[in-house]
Structure 1
Amino acid sequence: MEKAVTPKTRIFILCNPQNPIGRVFTREELIQLAEFCERHDLILVSDEIHCDLILDPEAEHVSALNLPERFQNRTITLLAPSKTWNIAGLGYAFAVIPDDSVRRRFCAARGHTLSEINALSYYAAEAAYRHGEPWRQDLLTYLRGNRDTLVEFIRTRCPGLSIEPGQATYLAWINGSSVGNPAQHFEKTAGLFLSDGAFFQWPGWFRFNFGCPRARMLEGLEKIAAHL
């Protein structure tokens, strides 16, 4: 990261939990990142859209908003109910910016690049955050079951593929380099549309969305196993 910083670098964009691997960063790691930003005078933009989808009980989401006070003059935290409560189509998201000067610069820079939030989106977000916790807990239980089922399937039924369980999100990160470009391979042979790892600068890998009914997930996995 030190080598990547240039005189033109202004921000460091963090995805926590990380997409696509589902990694949850520890407080110690986040403080190191904040110190890196402080050292290079960078704004830390923390995308935490998957923060309500922590699957491992021992993993703790630490928001940039909970970092020590000395870092709060250089943080922008991005949040939304869209991933957790499946309301992405309503286009509701928000930024929490503790520092007044950074907030003013953010608002000035956004200009007309971002659409305004409509009334329906406000009501949906309020309903999700105020009343959606029981549903979210049921969702986490179901997603944990899907994740564990998927990991076992890949390890026992898909020779040549490898996977490590993600700590968060409903996305699995799978090594399919044994078939070359797995996203293209499974699209052509099995009719599956998977996220190509090359998009994430990791060719040979693919991202699998298990945020769906278990029967549908298993249908897709059976197609993968049949076309290895």
Structure 2
Amino acid sequence: MTQPFDFDQIVDRHGSDSLKWGIYPPEILPMWVADMDFTSPPEVLTALHQRIDHGVFGYALATQKVTDSVVNWLQQRYDWTIDPQWLVWLPGLVPALHAACLSYTEADQEVVTFSPVYPPFLSAPKTCQRPHRDIPLTRDHGRYTFDLQRFDDQLTDKSRLLLLCHPHNPVGRAFEKQELTALAEQCIKHNLIICSDEIHCDLVLNHTRHIPFACLSEEIAQRTVTLMSAAKTFNIAGLNCGFAIIPNPTLRRQFNHAAQGMIPHPNALGYTATQAAFTQAEPWRQALLEYLRGNRDYLLKEINQRLPMLTMEPVEATYLAWINVSALEDYRPAFFEQAGLGFSAGEPFGDNRFMRLNFGCPRSTLEEAMLRLEQAISPR
């Protein structure tokens, strides 16, 4: 069947306002920040044009239509029935990690994370002046998972908030129900509140369905703040629109109190794009997933067969590959930049043996990256 969307199209982002492309000189291929090089769905673009034609861009609030789009999306995708009153709209999810730290912990109470992990999970507790306990993920049959024995052993009566990345960035796991259930039991045992960042929930590549942490049980729902957005899936991160789902009214009130004056409303175009994405762009999303699976499979083969000094495991979710580069003599970011590649260094994620590569790009871009990488690490 003919591909209805052209993900092979090269969009020149040089000289634009792109953070991804703007921090490097033209000779470096940027494959770092979680920002795809695809145009957004045509339905989203049409909706944005219509909104722009209105011509007035004052302060915006969520309309009933955009709220309904979220409620219906969660029902259709995850069989999750939510009350619209549970929604707290956000301009992004990173500020929400900070708000959660301030909302649910006192100055002497710990914030817990699993690492390696998206850097704001590690920096938010520090910024909020909260103690931080880092529990490394463990490996089980070549896959990262929670080290629940260590989790149980190391938590104290001062441990209060778990910042959970689910699906996981950067290791690419789509956690299974038994893993999540076992973690939930420990959270209940230790009386933790969970802030679950699920921004990549609609980018599961292994043909399974994401399980929102709050859907595990009513008891878990009452202690969970879920963070979601259309931003990553539909490549609209620059429009700054996301939301928290907080069923517990006390937790919701605490969150709103911490966010007041610190976290602004999303902008008008962000609401518009979110509504269009969730109501009209599912065919585009399905086509995107197939393209990303092809990119993932290509990258997995190239890394593990052609570049034996590197290792990569299958990516179950996200468009981010976590690649072990520790066999290289010099695997600092400068090494790859000299080869014309801009990757994310592993150190800010909590493991400097790795680099993160964004494969949300046209295949030709990925092929060029692999050519440069091979030339860089091949024996001279």
| 1:173 paired to 2:322 | yes
Higher relative contact order (CA 8 A, sep 6+): 2
| 1:52 paired to 2:202 | yes
| 1:225 paired to 2:371 | no
Alpha-carbon contact 2:345-2:355 (below 8 Å) kept: yes
Q: TM-score, normalising length from structure 1?
A: 0.95
Residue 29 of structure 1 and its aligned partner are, at CA, apart by 1.3
| 1:41 paired to 2:191 | yes
Which residue pairs with 1:145 in the alignment? 294
Which residue pairs with 2:112 in the alignment? none
Q: Which runs of 5+ in 1 are unaligned?
A: none
Which residue pairs with 1:134 in the alignment? 283
Which residue pairs with 1:109 in the alignment? 258
Residue 18 of structure 1 and its aligned partner are, at CA, apart by 0.4
Aligned length: 227
| 1:25 paired to 2:168 | no
Alpha-carbon contact 1:179-1:185 (below 8 Å) kept: no
Distance in 1 separating the partners of 2:319 and 2:337: 24
Partner of 2:323, secondary structure, is strand
Which residue pairs with 1:159 in the alignment? 308
Alpha-carbon contact 1:186-1:224 (below 8 Å) kept: no
Alpha-carbon contact 1:183-1:194 (below 8 Å) kept: no
Which residue pairs with 1:121 in the alignment? 270
Distance in 1 separating the partners of 2:296 and 2:220: 35
Which stretch of structure 1 is more off in the superposition, 39-48 or 138-147? 39-48
Residue 73 of structure 1 and its aligned partner are, at CA, apart by 1.3
Distance in 1 separating the partners of 2:244 and 2:169: 19
Task: Give the 3 Å change call, closer, same or farther, for CA 77–184 of structure 1 in structure 2.
Answer: same
| 1:198 paired to 2:340 | no
Distance in 2 separating the partners of 1:84 and 1:181: 34
| 1:62 paired to 2:206 | no
Distance in 2 separating the partners of 1:98 and 1:39: 20
Alpha-carbon contact 1:16-1:46 (below 8 Å) kept: yes
Residue 7 of structure 1 and its aligned partner are, at CA, apart by 3.9
Residue 178 of structure 1 and its aligned partner are, at CA, apart by 1.1
Aligned-partner residue type, residue 196 of structure 2 = S
Which stretch of structure 1 is more off in the superposition, 81-90 or 199-208? 199-208
Alpha-carbon contact 1:181-1:205 (below 8 Å) kept: no
Q: Which runs of 5+ in 2 are unaligned?
A: 1-150
Residue 133 of structure 1 and its aligned partner are, at CA, apart by 0.1
RMSD, aligned CA: 1.4
Residue 183 of structure 1 and its aligned partner are, at CA, apart by 4.4
Distance in 1 separating the partners of 2:330 and 2:229: 32
Aligned-partner residue type, residue 175 of structure 1 = N
What per-residue deviation string (whole Å, max 9, x for no partner) do you get for residues 165-188 of structure 1?
110110011111011452425434
Q: TM-score, normalising length from structure 2?
A: 0.58
Distance in 2 separating the partners of 1:127 and 1:54: 21
Residue 4 of structure 1 and its aligned partner are, at CA, apart by 3.9
Which residue pairs with 1:2 in the alignment? 152
Distance in 2 separating the partners of 1:40 and 1:109: 24
Q: 1:215 aligns with which of 332, 356, 364?
A: 364
Task: Give the 3 Å change call, closer, same or farther, for CA 132–138 of structure 1 in structure 2.
Answer: same
Task: Pick the structure with greater CA Rg.
Answer: 2
